[in-house]
Amino acid sequence: MHTDETHNMTAHLKSQSAEKVVIVGAACRLPGSDSLSTYWRNLMAGQRCVAPVTRWESLRETAVHGGLLEHVDEFDAGFFRISPNEARCMDPQQRLLMETVQHLMDNCGVPVQTLRDLQCGVFCTGLPGDYKFLLAQEPESAFSSHSFLGNATSSLAGRVSYFYDFHGPSVSLDTACSSSLTALQIAVSQLRAGECESALVAGVSVFATPEVFEFAQRSNMLSARGHCDAFGDEADGFVPSEGVAAIMLMSASKARELGLDVLASIEAISLNHDGMSNGMMAPNSQAQAALIASSYERCGIEVGRIGYVEAHGTGTRLGDSIEVAGLVNGFRAQAQPYDTYLGASKSVIGHTLVCSGLASLIKTLLIFRHSTIPGQPLARSLNTALDLDRFKVSEQAVPWPSDKAYACVSAFGFTGSNAHLVLGKPEPRKIDPQNSPGPWAFLISAQSSPSLYERIRQVLGVLDGLPDDQLAALSVALGKGSQPYRLRLAVTASTRLSLVTQLQQWLATPTEQLGVGCSKVEVLPDTVLAERLQRWLAGIDLPLYDIGHAARYPRIELPGYPFDRKPYWVGTELIVAQAPVAASSPRRSSVLDTLKSDLARLLGFEQADIDTSRSLRDYGVDSISLIELLSQLGAGASRMQPHDVFDFASIVALAQALEELQPVSSAASREDAVTSVSRSPMTWTQIGQGRAIVLLPPLNMSAQAWMQQVNVLRRQGFALHIPSYPGHQGTPLDEGRFSLEGLVLEIEAYINEQLEGHPVPVVGWSLGGCLALALCRRAPAMVESMILISTAACFGDDIFGKTIELNAELQAHADYLDILLEPRQSIAEQVGAGASMSALSRYYQMLGQLDFSAQLPGIAVRTLIVHGQQDVVIGGADVTLLQRLPNARLEVFADQGHFIPLTAARRFNELMLDFVQARQP
């Protein structure tokens, strides 16, 4: 029975769950601050960082205030290997989150590879996102495959895990204003369960439209005075703000092993819900008190040892009074004396909504670091109606009480989800003073020349006022966990003056002389260090100092990576991939130029920005854009599998391989190739022999979408006829002649010419279902029966907004679909049709104008409607409308969504066969 083994495993799990989780890094970008240090300065100064909202013209003449971040349209797409065209289609929340996560990596100083080895989990929250509504207003330039990922809430965590190659749990969630502490609670649980050994928790709130302000204003929730006066007598509403924050967690023992600074320990974190109160948006003091009391009792927290509570503190009279009552009753449950300061960061930065819990937590981390509690800014005076009991609200900064060990953070969601956190103040790390005479090595690294120059300036800023005896600590800070960025500079120096002089000289160095491995190195007496330095300059990913050595020096906090940001926003110039001007097939000498030109056009770069010594991944090429790229490159590229292309280390190497695959004889020109497929706007695939059946696929999906139906239908004696629509799989789309009617005419002509006009069963899925309806309306005699899967009779202008989450739905079935598909390729690669951005926009425009509502009663073809209740595009009202078809019956899949033929194939195939084989008498 393996009793000893079971006992040991149980003991290990108990030990693991009992071990404390600690915070080892933090980063934030909040109103009025882009770093931890500026956030602390604003807190200490009581600086209100909200102002009249002027970002949107509709609010410029109002008194509405908000805490808005600057330059939210800007992003360093190149750093994250994202193309300009994809960056323009990304919700700014994703962009700001990625940059702040990188600053978190810089702050904690743990190499990314170490975090990979620790199976780092990612737990994120963000607003539902309103950028997609701006995209929908610019369909000509904004509709693309990137828009799906770029605006899906699941991509907040997913994109972080993808970019850093983390394999731990990856979760995006929303519990309103308690979201970020809820994410923290789940992260702590996953760490204690052994699902991951490190965890990243992040939250972001960014407004692309004035929607939040307008809703709050109409609901009379905004402060009329334009400031959040938490606990003040002028509290009259909240002030919406933007923000992004992130922290890194791991076990206390792992942090010690890695020599990391501990910013705080997680002593307790608990969640509950208000249940039924005076209204779903009305807070419940009894539930808040119960949460606090039960959490303290369960985790052994004594209220007398709590020095500070960072309250939710929205600055509303009702909310403040209910929260204070909950705190007082929760503390009184222990029947012990307490003496605790109370504050709220929202009086400084406003209410950052889903990010607010982490903003409050980071304030508390800074209180621990500086052993000081900032004063609570009040507009006039304290609200005397609050029964504070033994809580104290100080308008002046006070020292941290030496007899206190804990601080608490509360966050409450407006839908009733509550979170309460207890943090433990860490003991200062013991430093073993080192008197090494130097010289020391100083590493500076960046992905672009502007960022490298700015990083040099950042280091010079740190050196301003830094004493010589701190140079070794600066060397350690720069060398510990240094990322292997493309451009690297190493300087050695023994004195501050020498280092400053050399860095100033590098600032004057022309850009073209800054490259991989530039250095100005004196002779290093430490031969091991010298060897590491040379390896680092050569591009090997390793820290300059080992963990034990680095732990002996005091921590010097460096500024975060200086991103080389550029504006990316819908409505700005977008490079749309179009078919090239007709020309001869590229000869061997011009393949590289052709590849470079096509790549620039497809991704939105200027051609001069393409460095052919770098890889396709460096420019943000993914599997979907790669299919389109290869389709434009002629015969050689058609003989190469998309997943193989990523194996090439550079664009030059890819071009050489394509040259070798080019036919030796004078092949057909690109013009001939395009003409040969454009004689008909639609190409068809026939599979099998026998009774004909027409399968019309969804938008931007190939014949592979029917992979689960092909063999079933062939075994039953069917010949499958599947079209590829114009603009799909490399075929052209004539925008001047493109229309729904044109597509239906092509289907009608094919049935007449190839199937001799005999009535056939037609199975239409999504867009294919719309085409089936149109065919029935135009030529009902051709359609023996019709199956409509995930189809609507009309979509309206918000079709893009509805389809944003489809990729997330497909990914939710990834485990199942990976069994069916080639594991080296993504789902999208294998079932997608590689439609271009311009083609997709035309299809969405067509669908937005489609409306069969009035014609439905006149379509008498025998019809089966197949609907998934979890479909994010087709709702119950759409299905009810379709049931106006006079000869239709409905089959509902309660646990399925938009992709039933793929994700519920067995049941669907049975229905399909029963229906198409039951011919009308």
Dist. CA 803–CA 794, nearest whole Å: 14
Read off the pLDDT of residues 2-55 as tens digits, 9 standing for 90 and up. 445 444 444 444 444 568 999 999 999 999 999 999 999 999 999 999 999 999
Tokens of 439: 């010289």
| pLDDT at 824 exceeding the cut of 80 | no
| pLDDT at 676 exceeding the cut of 70 | no
Q: What type of residue sits at position 800?
A: F
| pLDDT at 269 exceeding the cut of 60 | yes
Dist. CA 31–CA 347, nearest whole Å: 12
| pLDDT at 675 exceeding the cut of 60 | no
Inter-residue long-range contacts of 146-150, CB under 8 Å, 24+ positions, other chains counted: 146/85, 146/86, 146/89, 146/90, 147/89, 147/800, 147/804, 148/803, 148/804, 148/805, 148/806, 148/807, 149/807, 150/86, 150/89, 150/90, 150/91, 150/94
- For the chain, the structural domain boundaries read 22-424, 440-550, 588-674, 681-917
Tokens of 549: 């050595």
Secondary structure letter of residue 287 according to DSSP: H
Read off the pLDDT of residues 437-472 as tens digits, 9 standing for 90 and up. 778 889 898 999 899 999 999 999 999 988 888 898
C-beta separation of 406 from 267 below 8 A: yes
Secondary structure letter of residue 766 according to DSSP: T
CATH 3.30.70.3290 fits 440-550, yes or no: yes
Tokens of 628: 């389109």
Report the percent of the chain where pLDDT is more than 70.
Answer: 82
Dist. CA 719–CA 292, nearest whole Å: 67
Read off the pLDDT of residues 55-68 as tens digits, 9 standing for 90 and up. 999 998 888 999 99
Show the DSSP H helices in 260-306 as ranges: 285-299
Instruction: Give strand ranges (E) for 512-667.
Output: 518-520, 566-567
What is the pLDDT averaged over residues 367-375? Answer: 98
Dist. CA 5–CA 636, nearest whole Å: 58
CA angle 401, 405, 409 (to 5 degrees): 95
Output the pLDDT for position 2.
Answer: 44
What is the pLDDT averaged over residues 702-716? Answer: 87
Instruction: Name the CATH topology of 588-674.
Output: 1.10.1200
CA angle 354, 219, 413 (to 5 degrees): 25
Tokens of 455: 């990083």
Q: Does residue 439 have a cis bond before it (omega within 30 degrees)?
A: yes
| pLDDT at 368 exceeding the cut of 60 | yes
| pLDDT at 362 exceeding the cut of 90 | yes
10 Å Cβ neighbour count for 884?
Answer: 16
Residue 296 vs residues 269, 312, 507: alpha-carbon distances, Å: 9, 18, 55
Output the pLDDT for position 574.
Answer: 43
Dist. CA 432–CA 471, nearest whole Å: 15
- 3-class DSSP assignment, residue 365: helix
**DSSP assignment string, 164-191:** HT--S-EEEE-BTBTHHHHHHHHHHHHH
Dist. CA 155–CA 125, nearest whole Å: 10
Dist. CA 739–CA 47, nearest whole Å: 58
Q: Max Cα separation, the chain?
A: 99
| pLDDT at 639 exceeding the cut of 80 | no
Q: What is the CATH number of domain 681-917?
A: 3.40.50.1820
Residue 81 vs residues 78, 91, 542, 621: alpha-carbon distances, Å: 5, 16, 22, 8
> Nearest Cα to 746, choosing from 782, 713, 708, 705?
782
Dist. CA 143–CA 122, nearest whole Å: 28
What confidence category does residue 142 fall into, taking pLDDT thresholds of 50, 70 and 90? low
Hey, which of 84-98, 502-516, 740-754 has the most confident mean pLDDT?
84-98
Secondary structure letter of residue 701 according to DSSP: B
Output the pLDDT for position 514.
Answer: 56
Task: Report the predicted TM-score, pTM, of the whole model to 2 decimal places.
Answer: 0.73
| pLDDT at 667 exceeding the cut of 50 | no
Output the pLDDT for position 580.
Answer: 36
Rg (CA), the chain: 31
Lowest mean pLDDT among 63-67, 749-753, 821-825, 882-886: 821-825
C-beta separation of 354 from 125 below 8 A: yes
Dist. CA 60–CA 166, nearest whole Å: 43
Output the pLDDT for position 840.
Answer: 79
What is the pLDDT averaged over residues 193-214? Answer: 96
Lowest mean pLDDT among 157-161, 185-189, 604-608: 604-608
Where in the sequence numbering do the catalytic residues fall?
A: 177, 312, 351
Q: What type of residue sits at position 523?
A: V
Tokens of 555: 């921590």
Read off the pLDDT of residues 248-268 as tens digits, 9 standing for 90 and up. 999 999 999 998 999 999 999
> Nearest Cα to 750, choosing from 735, 727, 771, 729?
771
> Nearest Cα to 360, choosing from 180, 557, 127, 185?
180
Dist. CA 552–CA 259, nearest whole Å: 9
| pLDDT at 588 exceeding the cut of 70 | no
Backbone torsion region of residue 688, taken as left when φ is above 0, otherwise alpha when ψ lies between -120 and 50, otherwise beta: left
Dist. CA 806–CA 809, nearest whole Å: 5
Dist. CA 800–CA 304, nearest whole Å: 55
Candidate CATH numbers 3.40.47.10, 3.10.450.50, 3.40.50.300, 3.40.50.720; the one for domain 22-424? 3.40.47.10
C-beta separation of 206 from 93 below 8 A: yes
10 Å Cβ neighbour count for 468?
Answer: 12
- 3-class DSSP assignment, residue 869: coil
Output the pLDDT for position 54.
Answer: 93
What confidence category does residue 609 fall into, taking pLDDT thresholds of 50, 70 and 90? confident
For the chain, give the mean pLDDT.
85
Residue 372 vs residues 27, 307, 358: alpha-carbon distances, Å: 19, 11, 19
> Nearest Cα to 806, choosing from 769, 770, 767?
767
Read off the pLDDT of residues 319-340 as tens digits, 9 standing for 90 and up. 899 999 999 999 999 999 999 9
Q: Which residue has the higher pLDDT, 67 or 583?
A: 67
Output the pLDDT for position 487.
Answer: 85
Output the pLDDT for position 615.
Answer: 82
What confidence category does residue 1 fall into, taking pLDDT thresholds of 50, 70 and 90? very low
Q: Give the CA dihedral 471, 472, 474, 479, nearest 10 degrees.
A: 140
Output the pLDDT for position 523.
Answer: 45
Side-chain half-sphere exposure of 155, counting CA atoms within 13 A = 24
10 Å Cβ neighbour count for 497?
Answer: 11
Dist. CA 182–CA 191, nearest whole Å: 14
Distance of CA 437 to the CA centre of its chain: 46
Instruction: Give strand ranges (E) for 505-562.
Output: 518-520
